[in-house]
Every structure is written in structure tokens, then in C-alpha cells.
Amino acid sequence: TNITYLLQGMKAKFRVEVTEENLDEIIYKNSNDPNPRERNFCSRLTNGACEKTVILRTGSNNIWFTVHDKAGNVVSQNVEIVV
């Protein structure tokens, strides 16, 4: 799993590249939100990747991405962005 992002003001456009062919879903959670919760990032890959724009909060944003495959395997990766 490879995660990159482009920061534009308070928005970050994330690209998550996944080599798993049996992707179930990718979820994300910003631990610094006032009410942190898991949100859907994508459930299908286009050319091995998903892209989504996420609105960030001022200050530190500790974002966890979790990739699930159909066999139940899970991989997590953290990205920290300061706005």
C-alpha cells in the first residue's frame, strides 16, 4: 500500500495505491476530528488506486487508512499532516 497526497489549503487529495486484487474496502479516520469515526474511502480500484479529497482541520491531522481484502486481511497506515 502506497499513500500520497496533494495539500491545497484545507483540503488534501489522497491517492491510495493497492496491489491487492481482492480489495473489499479502504476506510480512513482522522484521529484529530472532534468526533473521530471511520469513513469510507473507496471499495473499488481504478488502475490499482483510489483517489479522494478530504477536508482537514486546522492544526495536526492524524489520518489512519485501513485496507481490507475479501479474505479478511487488514493493513493500516498512518499519515500526519499539519495545516
DSSP string, 32-83: TSSS---EEEESS-BTTEEEEEEEPPSSEEEEEEEEEETTS-EEEEEEEEE-
The DSSP output letter for 18 is: -
Residue 40 pLDDT exceeds 90: yes
| Phi, psi of 25, rounded to the nearest 5 degrees | -165, 160
Summarised one tens digit per residue, pLDDT across range 1-31 is 899 999 999 999 999 999 888 899 999 999 9
| Phi, psi of 48, rounded to the nearest 5 degrees | 80, 15
